[in-house]
């Protein structure tokens, strides 16, 4: 296939030694005007997403969790009510058909269940996981992103991206290694 060079270049990856270096670099990259950037770290680095310019609205997990919890709770309660008062009404110990206090334990459990399932699967879906292939996995050094190294990637579709200049820029902000990430399809 005859693909132009820019299409197979995913971006430039800079490697750093510590979370502190990565934070400094992330701020500089933002200041330099790059927007399509991401950082990779072996553990969550406090403040990194802010340094990359990801705002609070970026995180929809709490909202999704709330929806799951409300859905589970309301669904659970009204299902029990329907079962006991409408589908198969049964007089148990003279209690009213809508003996709602007796429905609370199951309602509570289903609230927690709904919220938890939505939190986990919502988080995975918004992170677009599972994702078996990613161009970054072509970089041998990137294995250390799950161990002891910190990476910053300026993606090729950023309007300011220029292979040689961006590489020089990454070196100027003290990246230990600068590696071109290629998507070899």
Footprint of other proteins on residues 95-114 (CB under 8 A)? 95, 99, 102-103, 105-106, 108-110, 112-113
Applying CB under 8 A, which of residues 6, 92, 98, 172 lies at the interface with other proteins? 92
User: Cα(96)–Cα(94) distance, rounded to whole angstroms?
Assistant: 6
Q: Is 4 left (phi over 0), alpha (psi -120 to 50) or beta?
A: beta
Nearest to 29 by CA among 44, 10, 48, 51: 51
Footprint of other proteins on residues 125-184 (CB under 8 A)? 126-127, 129-134, 136-137, 142-148
Q: Is 29 left (phi over 0), alpha (psi -120 to 50) or beta?
A: alpha
Q: How big is the site for other proteins, counted in residues (CB under 8 A)?
A: 63
Residue 139: strand, helix, or coil: coil
Binding mask 27-56 for other proteins (x = CB under 8 A): -----------xxxxxxxx--xx--x-x--
Instruction: Give the Cβ contact number of residue 170 at 10 Å.
Output: 24
Contact positions vs other proteins (CB under 8 A): 19, 38-45, 48-49, 52, 54, 58-59, 61-62, 65, 69, 79-80, 83-84, 87-88, 90, 92, 95, 99, 102-103, 105-106, 108-110, 112-113, 115-117, 119-120, 122-124, 126-127, 129-134, 136-137, 142-148
């Amino acid at each position: 296939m005859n693909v132009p060079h820019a299409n197979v270049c995913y971006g430039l990856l800079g490697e750093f030694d510590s979370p502190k270096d990565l934070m400094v670099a992330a701020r500089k990259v933002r200041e330099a005007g790059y927007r399509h950037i991401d950082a990779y770290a072996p553990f969550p680095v406090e403040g990194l997403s802010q340094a990359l310019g990801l705002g609070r609205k970026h995180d929809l997990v709490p909202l999704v969790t709330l929806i799951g919890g409300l859905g589970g709770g309301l669904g659970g309660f009204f299902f029990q009510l329907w079962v006991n008062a409408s589908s198969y009404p049964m007089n148990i110990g003279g209690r009213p058909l809508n003996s709602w206090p007796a429905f609370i334990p199951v309602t509570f459990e289903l609230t927690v269940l709904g919220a938890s399932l939505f939190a986990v699967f919502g988080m995975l879906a918004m992170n677009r996981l599972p994702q078996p292939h990613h161009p970054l996995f072509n970089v041998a050094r990137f294995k250390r992103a799950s161990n002891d190294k910190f990476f910053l990637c300026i993606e090729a579709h950023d309007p300011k991206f220029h292979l040689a200049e961006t590489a020089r820029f990454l070196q100027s902000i003290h990246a230990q290694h600068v590696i071109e990430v290629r998507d070899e399809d």
